[in-house]
Structure 1
Amino acid sequence: MADDNDMSADNGADAWGAGGEADPFAGTERILNQDEIDSLLGFDLSDEEGSERTGIRAIINSALVSYERLPMLEIVFDRLVRLMTTSLRNFTSDNVEVSLDNISSIRFGDYLNSIPLPAILAVFKAEELENYGLLTVDSNLIYSIVDVLLGGRRGTAAMRIEGRPYTTIERVLVQRMVEVVLADARAAFEPLTPVSFVLDRLETNPRFAAIARPANAAILVKLRIDMEDRGGRIELLLPYATLEPIRKMLLQQFMGEKFGRDNIWEGHLATELWTTQMEVRCVLDELQIPLQKLLDLQVGETIILNATPESAVELRAGSIPLTRGHMGRRNHNIAVRVEAPLSPQARKAVQRI
């Protein structure tokens, strides 16, 4: 009995701990609650949109590049909104208001899966950038444009007939509107760089509008078009591969930024280069002889050249040939009269400097 009491006392000491306090994890495994699981995965529902992602979600989205790293895009798309407001008013002869909802980064595959159908997807090519972009027109805007262009009454919502493909008339009217938007996009990029956006084709199935790999990152611009009680949404998608050739321009904080270049220093450097002294050699003639004959030359022997007093000589700066001319005398100095322009090799060397 004494031994049993001692064992019970030892077990009780282990359960309560040395300080006499209860150990909540004694004999049980640590279990995470829901808040800790959400924090670990980075899917906290209480977070506001645009807040900093943490946990596994941050790792998943780490491959995406935020559009905020390309500040000039906001200026370009703000200019696009103003241009579209004027162009669509002239196109529809109606009161049109265009607003920019948001600009975000998204994977191309995720965007294709999120397109609400039915919709018309316009694939266009940026010729100078040698890549493609995507412009999506939702069904509300399609029926609104058709209703406005064909003389629908104001104050009544556009009639929608679901479950059927778009007719030829609807596709042609939407194509005309897309061409107006692409012309405005070209004008919006014009102050930055000349880019021609040409409509390639219209698709209704997102699978046929694939212009990039599903994992590739892209810029998504959502535009809202309101025509009194009618309207819809246009979404413009530009893959990062399309914007890569003009990435340096999009990194500017303002139009015409020089990235630290100093025009005063450039002018001073150019002035100093033009006044720099340079050694120029006049080559009368060149002769190739075997190495053995060169080693056998003795003092007093003569090497006969093929040049004559009337032969042209070559002027060189180091190993770069500059031009050709004729030898002569001016006053008491030996001179060369230049009779040919600078060689292409010398021009390239000057351009590199």
Structure 2
Amino acid sequence: MSEILSQDEVDSLLDGLDSGEVEAAKDKGKPEKTDGIIAYDFTSQDKVVRARMPTFDVINERLSREVRATLSSLLQTNVDVSANPFDTLKFSEFVRSLPVPTSLHVFRMEPLRGHGLIVLESQLVYNLIDTFFGGEALGKARVEGREFTNIEEVMIKKAVVAVLKNIEASWAPIEPVKTTLIRSEMNPQFTAIVLPTDLVLVTRFEIELEQSAGNLVVCYPYSMIEPMRNKLSSGVQAEVEEIDTNWRKMIREVILESEIVLRIELGKTEITGERLIYMQKGDIIQLDNDACDPLICYVDGLVKLKGYAGVQRGFQAFQINEKIITDCEG
């Protein structure tokens, strides 16, 4: 509680200031003069992480292709995924930017230390589930104040586990990693993978369905990525065009399940129109090949097999004797 000084006390203080016996209080609002010198902390993460990491950009682009293939296969529809440039910010800023509720998933990425975070926006979750069950995914689902159902949680986990496999594939050319899902949350406050002041690398992937869109976010602590900084900061080397394994797998599955037409040719010959007109039951047409010659099998109009006709279990059959390989297949 403040007290009012008497005039004698005020005069005593003024005399003390003039004589130097009482030290005047410093103005805390003004910074001390340092002759233009500013303290620089070389150990601060914020100072060393701002440089470009082109190889990390390549990993994110590869991850966008992997996720596109995975979601297209899972939903049986066309899905477009694009990666935004990664951001570097404090973890507290990242958490404040997340909507509530949202689907958060903490994961480990061995042999790197620490934990990463996968974020699926609620609207994206509902759109993915709606599309999976045959809906139109118009992006009009109400997300406020609503928790995920058991069925939705199962579908979310299935999608997240698939994305973790995509992360492994995208990192494989740089550093083989093994991912493990640790836990899932809905409140960002329960996913403190690092201290609030620690830096994180955040990449947002825009996922576009036919009628709606949403964001998938992957967050790596800088402390996790730091051991790989030299590899990630180096210039992109002459990159051998890699085959997208997921697309290759999808194409292979489509080919293996496709129906094809086989046609066995007994032989051929040429006749006149007059002979064709006067043909009757019992007439014999002589073909151009010998009875002992193998027959030709056409696969969708292309010569692929040779063999002999026969009977098996009461049905006409064809026994393959030779497989014909063309120059482009050899």
TM-score, normalised to structure 2's length? 0.56
In 1, the alpha carbon distance for the partners of 2:111 and 2:45 equals: 30
What displacement does 1:243 show?
Answer: 0.6
- Matching of residue 75 in structure 1 with residue 58 in structure 2: yes
In 2 relative to 1, CA 89–127 (structure 1 residues): closer, same or farther, beyond 3 Å? same
What displacement does 1:245 show?
Answer: 2.2
In 2 relative to 1, CA 138–117 (structure 1 residues): closer, same or farther, beyond 3 Å? same
What displacement does 1:255 show?
Answer: 3.9
What fraction of aligned residue pairs are identical, expressed as a percent?
A: 32
Equivalent residue number for residue 204 of structure 1: 186
Q: Could you tell me whether the CA contact under 8 Å between 1:122 and 1:199 is conserved in 2?
A: yes
Q: Which runs of no fewer than 5 residues in structure 2 stay unpaired?
A: 1-43, 240-330
* Alignment partner of 1:244 out of 222, 226, 233: 226
Equivalent residue number for residue 143 of structure 1: 126
Equivalent residue number for residue 326 of structure 1: none
Equivalent residue number for residue 198 of structure 2: 216
* Alignment partner of 2:105 out of 101, 116, 122: 122
What displacement does 1:157 show?
Answer: 4.0
Letter in 1 for 2:182: D
Matches within 5 A, 1:22-101: 63=46, 65-66=48-49, 68-101=51-84
Matches within 5 A, 1:271-350: none
In 2, the alpha carbon distance for the partners of 1:220 and 1:159 equals: 26
Q: Could you tell me whether the CA contact under 8 Å between 2:54 and 2:232 is conserved in 1?
A: yes
In 2 relative to 1, CA 155–249 (structure 1 residues): closer, same or farther, beyond 3 Å? closer
Equivalent residue number for residue 91 of structure 2: 108
What displacement does 1:64 show?
Answer: 5.1
- Matching of residue 159 in structure 1 with residue 141 in structure 2: yes
Superposed CA offset, 1:163-185 (max 9, x none): 12111211111111111111111
What displacement does 1:123 show?
Answer: 0.4
Superposed CA offset, 1:181-213 (max 9, x none): 111111010000101121111101111100001
More helix by share: 1
Q: Could you tell me whether the CA contact under 8 Å between 2:206 and 2:216 is conserved in 1?
A: yes
Matches within 5 A, 1:258-269: none
Letter in 2 for 1:147: D
Q: RMSD between aligned alpha carbons?
A: 2.2
Q: Which runs of no fewer than 5 residues in structure 1 stay unpaired?
A: 1-60, 258-353
In 2, the alpha carbon distance for the partners of 1:124 and 1:247 equals: 20
In 1, the alpha carbon distance for the partners of 2:222 and 2:139 equals: 38
Higher relative contact order (CA 8 A, sep 6+): 2
Q: Could you tell me whether the CA contact under 8 Å between 2:139 and 2:213 is conserved in 1?
A: no
Superposed CA offset, 1:292-327 (max 9, x none): xxxxxxxxxxxxxxxxxxxxxxxxxxxxxxxxxxxx
In 2, the alpha carbon distance for the partners of 1:134 and 1:249 equals: 22
In 2, the alpha carbon distance for the partners of 1:213 and 1:155 equals: 37
TM-score, normalised to structure 1's length? 0.52
What displacement does 1:251 show?
Answer: 2.0
What displacement does 1:68 show?
Answer: 4.0
- Matching of residue 229 in structure 1 with residue 231 in structure 2: no
Equivalent residue number for residue 192 of structure 1: 174
- SS of the residue 2:84 aligns to: strand
In 1, the alpha carbon distance for the partners of 2:157 and 2:225 equals: 24
Q: Could you tell me whether the CA contact under 8 Å between 2:104 and 2:117 is conserved in 1?
A: yes
In 1, the alpha carbon distance for the partners of 2:45 and 2:180 equals: 33
- Choose 1 or 2 for highest CA Rg: 1
Equivalent residue number for residue 133 of structure 1: 116
Superposed CA offset, 1:228-250 (max 9, x none): 11231011110111112222211
- SS of the residue 2:220 aligns to: strand
In 1, the alpha carbon distance for the partners of 2:60 and 2:234 equals: 15
Ranges of 4+ aligned residues in structure 1 off by more than 6 Å: none
- SS of the residue 1:163 aligns to: coil
Q: Could you tell me whether the CA contact under 8 Å between 1:126 and 1:198 is conserved in 2?
A: yes
Q: Could you tell me whether the CA contact under 8 Å between 1:218 and 1:239 is conserved in 2?
A: yes
In 2, the alpha carbon distance for the partners of 1:200 and 1:211 equals: 11
